[in-house]
Amino acid sequence: MAFSITISANKAPPFARKSFPLTVETSPEDTVEDVKNKIQAKIPQFYTSRQRLSLKSEKKSLADGTKLKDAGVTSGSELEIKDLGPQVGWKTVFIVEYAGPLLIHPFFYYLPHLFYGKDVIHSDLQRLVFAMVEIHFAKRIFETLFVHRFSHGTMPLFNIFKNSTHYHILSGLFLAYDLYRPAFAASSRYVKGTIRNDPQFLLICAGLWTFFELSNLSTHLHLRSLRPAGTKKRAIPTGYGFGLVSCPNYLFETLGWVVVCAMTGSWASYLFTVAGTGQMLIWALKKHAAYKKEFGKAYPRRKAMIPFVI
């Protein structure tokens, strides 16, 4: 049975201020997402990913998949809408993030005289690390385009600048400047005659790094298989890596960068690895808690990101 509800707004966007309060025709079987679509139908600029709906005087937002009858919304009820601001797609954000280092490193590698005042005869270490960095971020872009399935389609536009800073500066400018400078060149005392110029050492490092990168890809492919296209469905991940931790993708990525640190001893690689690991640990703890909350006792005993530790 259809009924009417009222949508009010404390701070509506400028283009919608005169539209609230807004009356929407709905039904008990409609979901919160259905209501958002009806609001967008009346105010096209106020697209659904920009909207946050909650019961009047309650701070907790209503999940898109919640039916109105389950949320206690009946005829005459009032919902409050919040403007989340301009949004940008997750895929766009990730591509911008990863494209930074992918494009920055070649400038420092191929045009060293612009940054160091002289040409650099690259060592095998520099050539190998350059290839590893480029492959890593090209892989990340490939995964963004063809592997990842996102539970949320967009994020606030401001985040694209905040998130890109981490990649463009730490793994882009800082890492590139430090790795391709003369101190790591073929004739450098830091490299020449040391283990960093030993082909066997470099081969072992490259092998380990490749193993961790492929392991990371494997976990992403498994996570993709658990979410049918066009859904937000989640299932308990199992198999390779997941027997020990909830987020082995973060673990394998961290280990890959640890290999780069061990190869080079670069302060910039340590800085990026520590900062990245810290951020991934925060994400892992949140995902781990979400898995435990959603699946309860059915969720296996495992750590969040670091086996047997945390």
Distance CA 304, CA 283 (A): 9
Residue-wise DSSP of 243-263: TTBS-HHHHHHHHHHHHHHHH
Structural domains counted in the chain: 2
Asked which of 20, 53, 85 is the last residue of a domain, the reply is 85
Distance CA 236, CA 246 (A): 9
The two three-digit tokens of residue 231, written as one number: 């859904």
Instruction: Decide if 237 is inside a domain.
Output: yes
pLDDT digits (tens, 9 = 90+) for 262-299: 999 999 999 999 999 999 999 999 999 999 999 999 99
In sequence order, what are the beta bridge partners of 87?
Answer: 156
Show the domain range for 127: 88-298
Among candidate residues 40, 68, 188, the one with its CA nearest the CA of residue 116: 188
pLDDT at 273: 98
One domain for residues 134 and 63: no
Instruction: Decide if 309 is inside a domain.
Output: no
Among candidate residues 256, 92, 255, 105, the one with its CA nearest the CA of residue 168: 105
Return the CATH number at 56. Answer: 3.10.20.90
pLDDT at 150: 78
Instruction: Decide if 303 is inside a domain.
Output: no
One domain for residues 67 and 98: no
Asked which of 85, 109, 143 is the last residue of a domain, the reply is 85
Distance CA 84, CA 8 (A): 15
One domain for residues 235 and 198: yes
One domain for residues 206 and 63: no
pLDDT at 202: 98
One domain for residues 152 and 76: no
pLDDT digits (tens, 9 = 90+) for 172-197: 999 999 999 999 999 999 999 999 99
Question: Which pTM value belongs to this model?
Answer: 0.86
CA angle, 242 then 147 then 107, to 5°: 110
Asked which of 26, 57, 85 is the last residue of a domain, the reply is 85
Residues 6 or more apart from 91 whose CB is under 8 A from it?
144, 145, 148, 150
Residues of the chain with pLDDT under 50: none
Instruction: Decide if 292 is inside a domain.
Output: yes
One domain for residues 67 and 93: no
The two three-digit tokens of residue 207, written as one number: 């092998």
